[in-house]
Amino acid sequence: MIHRHHLALAVALVLAACAGSPDGETSVRPGINQAYYDDPSIDTWRARFERPDREIFAKRDEIVRRIKLRPGLSVADIGAGTGFIALQMAREVGADGTVYAVELMPTFIEHIDKTAREQGVTNLRTVQCTERDLALAPNSIDLAFGCDVYHHFEYPQSSLASLRRALKPGGYFVLVDFHRIPGRSSDWVMGHVRAGQEVFEREIEAAGFEKIGEERFMQTCYFVRFKKTSDPPTDP
């Protein structure tokens, strides 16, 4: 006979496994963000993210230019890291625009807030997200940008659903992430990034986006533009 408290415990464990995601989505890459929790020091991550030989840092001006921002837009930098792109985006959208620097780690948020104050940037807002929800208000942004962050989405269906909700009708999502090509990509990329461009594009399209363009100007990463479709996504 199953005792009542044993049954209650079993139910609780099932609910815990599904918590935070309406469809019970499980992590596609458990532990992908653990390094940030193990060493939250901003100095550690600035040394890694803002290296002159890191392609997205070296080409940050060109990346921002190719996003095609204009004054007055509301945009989100998803996984803003140390904020070096978000701060540039804030200058592009001007005083009438807003940039939301979305981050999982409180240390990064504190650093971005501090840097914005020091540089006199007043149109940047930091947002602490969760691993499943970007924590942006519905229909609040014209464009979302994610740079070397999509492969850190543990729950891509849930995160993409929240991203789609945040975008205004016809809004855009610009994705930059690592090429993952056997024999071409580094051993680090092959071990760290869970899938290649084609897989990520399929996931994003299944979430209610249409690929509308790609620009090839980087060696280690790709730059792809998507548009939010008018129809809700269908079940895969």
pLDDT tens sequence across 5-19: 333 333 333 333 333
Q: Rounded to whole angstroms, how far apart are CA atoms 90 and 131?
A: 25
Q: What is the mean pLDDT of the chain?
A: 91
Nearest-5° angle of CA 100, CA 101, CA 104? Answer: 130
Residue spans of the domains in the chain: they are 31-228
Q: Rounded to whole angstroms, how far apart are CA atoms 200 and 177?
A: 9
Residue 20: the pLDDT is 39
Residue 28: the pLDDT is 97
- How many helices (H) and strands (E) the chain has is answered by 10, 7
> What pTM was computed for the model?
0.88
Residue 2: the pLDDT is 37
Taking a C-beta distance cutoff of 8 angstroms, is the pair 144, 172 a contact? yes
Kindly give the parts of the chain with pLDDT less than 50.
1-22
* Per-residue pLDDT reduced to its tens digit, 164-209: 999 999 999 999 999 999 999 999 999 999 999 999 999 999 999 9
Residue 16: the pLDDT is 35
Q: 31-228 adopts what CATH topology? A: Rossmann fold (3.40.50)
167-178 and 221-228: which strand pairing? antiparallel
